[in-house]
Amino acid sequence: MNNTINAFIKELSTKHISFLKEFIKYYKLNYNSIISINMFLALPVEYQLNIFYNFIIEQYNTGIYYDQYSIALFYVDVDKDRNAIKSIYKDTGKITNLFKQVFDLPEVSMIKAFSRAIMLVIDINELKF
pLDDT in tens, 24-59: 999 999 999 999 988 998 888 889 999 999 999 888
For the segment 1-20, the average pLDDT, to the nearest whole number, is 83
Q: How far from the centroid of its chain's Cα atoms is residue 97's Cα? A: 17
Q: Are 73 and 98 in contact (CB under 8 A)?
A: yes
| Beta strands in the chain, from DSSP E residues, in sequence order | 62-66, 71-75, 98-102
Ordered strands of the 62-66 beta sheet: 62-66, 71-75, 98-102
Are the CB atoms for 118 and 7 separated by under 8 Å? no
Predicted local distance difference test score (pLDDT) of residue 76: 75
Compute how many other C-beta atoms are within 10 angstroms of the C-beta atom of residue 16. Answer: 18
- Residue 129: pLDDT over 50: no
Q: Nearest to residue 110, comparing CAs of 99, 102, 118, 101?
A: 118
